[in-house]
Homo-oligomer: A and B are copies of this chain.
Amino acid sequence: MSVTVPVGFKASGATAGIKPSGKPDLCLIVRDTPDEHGCAFAALFTANFVVGAPVIVGRRQREQALKGGPAPRAVLVNAGNSNAATGQQGVINAEQCMAAVAGLLGCRGAEVLMSSTGVIGRPLPVEKLLAAVSGLVRGLGRGEAADAAAAAGIMTTDLVPKTALRQVLIDGRLVSIGAIAKGSGMIAPRLDSAAGPHAPGAGHASGTMLAFITTDAAISTPDLQTALEQAARPCFEAISVDNHPSCSDTVVCLSSGRAPWQTPPAKHADQPMPLLRPGTPAFAAFSAALAAVCEDLSEQIVVDGEGATRIFRVEVRGAATAAACTQIAREVVNSPLVKCAIHGQDPNWGRIVTAAGNAGVRFDPEQTSLHIGPVCVYQAGVPVTAALSDPALKAHMAGKKVHCVLTVGPADTVGAMTGCDLSKQYVVINAEYTT
């Protein structure tokens, strides 16, 4: 249960034949309530300087929506072709698909947002898409089957569909937030902001991460954009499968404003939900639930990283700033040598410490300590030799989640990243088949 749990949303999935495998490759999510009080739209796109055509179009839609123009009420997604590095024709192709869906839904093309994921640099097979959209619109529904069809339609190398749901009681209303997402290669999202793309750090970007979130909270478009940026960035930017941010990473949130009363009051039961306002406890409750959805999805994505058999979280403490801590953590989770060691259940902590030394953040090894799980392996610059034969270390390395805490100084700061191991299967997926 996911995107059709919030009041006002329908979804569907279909197979257009874009993927050579013949698996589902289309998804449609639609708000079917009128454009009135509390409807909103928000989006974040990749900070890669090379972007897919849908990102070019989507950024324009976001800009219009923030200026009070038409906000997307539907999201059309295809897998199997990213429509990226396809030039001006890519934009024309995307707009043609958006217009076709809009025609069937009775709205304008600008009210349909499109996302595409899959092989880069091949023309979007527009005819296959156009032939499939009427079935897609006819198939729109609510409930478990609709949610599952939508989640399946966006998968690429994902082994499992990814969904999340949180519900929170706000001023007597049951606000739902439902979501679907996909990974699982080219995953190291760095997201932009409506206020202007922020430059990605050098060396960070991979695979396509897509997340589509629906909610029935009542909120304005600018406030939803703020809430989404605050909730989504810290979660999605804290994972990396292969340190190659995609040209198509996208997080979208649609709201209907129709959250129902949990128990309708005696009076004014037909009053719409008041708009959530920043700075209020209601806004904070909504933001926390939205962050929980993003956290849930981001963990599912990294767990299902291409070829992954386990994940590892690197928590860095004590650098001058939290950002510096995160920068060190990012370097560690992206080191191929660390990733291979994690894969081999090898507590090769020297690779972790030396990867940290490459992050461009100066620290003093003599003030540095490292825990792997419950075991301290390196204390104030000196190896804890006995640790390597500690059965607790061996047991921790054999688990599905390896957890490292690297302390590089005395400051009260922390930053963390979660990555996955590097297996032979990753190479098989990315070398032996064209994706």
A-to-B contact residues, CB < 8 Å: 48-51, 82, 84-89, 119-123, 185-186, 190, 199-207, 242-247, 327, 330-331, 334-338, 340-341, 343-344, 346, 348-351, 353-363, 365-366, 368, 377-378, 380-383, 385, 421-424, 426-435
Contact call A354/B244, Cβ cutoff below 8 A: yes
Q: Which residues from chain B contact A327 at a C-beta distance below 8 Å?
A: 202
Closest residue of B by beta carbon distance from A359: B202
Q: Contacts A383-B87, A427-B343 known; A205 to B354 CB distance under 8 Å? A: yes
Contact call A431/B340, Cβ cutoff below 8 A: yes
User: What is the predominant secondary structure among interface residues of chain A facing chain B?
Assistant: loop
Q: Contacts A350-B119, A353-B50, A360-B199 known; A341 to B431 CB distance under 8 Å? A: yes
Q: Which residues from chain B contact A243 at a C-beta distance below 8 Å?
A: 203, 334-336
Contact call A354/B202, Cβ cutoff below 8 A: no
Q: Which residues from chain B contact A330 at a C-beta distance below 8 Å?
A: 202-203
23 chain-A/chain-B pairs, Cβ below 8 angstroms: A48-B354, A49-B358, A49-B361, A50-B356, A85-B383, A86-B382, A88-B381, A89-B382, A199-B360, A200-B360, A201-B202, A203-B204, A204-B358, A245-B354, A246-B354, A247-B350, A337-B430, A340-B426, A341-B430, A343-B431, A344-B434, A423-B427, A427-B427
Contact call B244/A335, Cβ cutoff below 8 A: yes
Q: Which residues from chain B contact A88 at a C-beta distance below 8 Å?
A: 381-382
A338 → B minimal CB distance (Å): 8
Contact call A206/B336, Cβ cutoff below 8 A: yes
Within 8 Å by CB of A346, from B331, B357, B434, lies B434
By Cβ-Cβ distance, the 3 closest A-B pairs, closest first, are A120-B350, A203-B203, A205-B358
Within 8 Å by CB of A49, from B363, B378, B424, B433, lies B363
Q: Which residues from chain B contact A377 at a C-beta distance below 8 Å?
A: 121
Contact call B434/A247, Cβ cutoff below 8 A: no
Chain B CB count within 10 A is highest, among A186, A340, A359, A368, for A340
Q: Which residues from chain B contact A426 at a C-beta distance below 8 Å?
A: 336, 340, 427
Contact call A357/B247, Cβ cutoff below 8 A: yes
6 A-B pairs besides A51-B365, A203-B331 with CB distance below 8 A are: A49-B365, A186-B337, A244-B355, A336-B426, A344-B433, A427-B427
Q: Which residues from chain B contact A343 at a C-beta distance below 8 Å?
A: 427, 431
A408 → B minimal CB distance (Å): 9
Q: Which residues from chain B contact A360 at a C-beta distance below 8 Å?
A: 199-203
Closest residue of B by beta carbon distance from A248: B354
In the bound complex, how far is the Cα of B245 from the Cα of A409, in angstroms? 22
Within 8 Å by CB of A424, from B349, B428, B434, lies B428
Within 8 Å by CB of A434, from B51, B119, B185, B348, lies B348
Contact call A190/B358, Cβ cutoff below 8 A: yes
Contact call B427/A351, Cβ cutoff below 8 A: no
In the bound complex, how far is the Cα of B48 from the Cα of A334, in angstroms? 16
Within 8 Å by CB of A120, from B85, B121, B354, lies B354
Q: Which residues from chain B contact A49 at a C-beta distance below 8 Å?
A: 356-358, 361-363, 365
In the bound complex, how far is the Cα of B377 from the Cα of A11, in angstroms? 38
A368 → B minimal CB distance (Å): 8
A5 → B minimal CB distance (Å): 34
In the bound complex, how far is the Cα of B200 from the Cα of A155, in angstroms? 38
Closest residue of B by beta carbon distance from A366: B87
Contact call A244/B431, Cβ cutoff below 8 A: no
Within 8 Å by CB of A344, from B185, B199, B202, B430, lies B430
Q: Which residues from chain B contact A359 at a C-beta distance below 8 Å?
A: 202-203
Q: Which residues from chain B contact A356 at a C-beta distance below 8 Å?
A: 49-50
Q: Which residues from chain B contact A82 at a C-beta distance below 8 Å?
A: 350
Chain B CB count within 10 A is highest, among A186, A343, A385, A431, for A431
Q: Which residues from chain B contact A432 at a C-beta distance below 8 Å?
A: 344
Contact call B430/A357, Cβ cutoff below 8 A: no
In the bound complex, how far is the Cα of B434 from the Cα of A228, in angstroms? 43
In the bound complex, how far is the Cα of B120 from the Cα of A423, in angstroms? 22
Q: Which residues from chain B contact A85 at a C-beta distance below 8 Å?
A: 350, 353-354, 365, 378, 381, 383
In the bound complex, how far is the Cα of B432 from the Cα of A343, in angstroms? 8
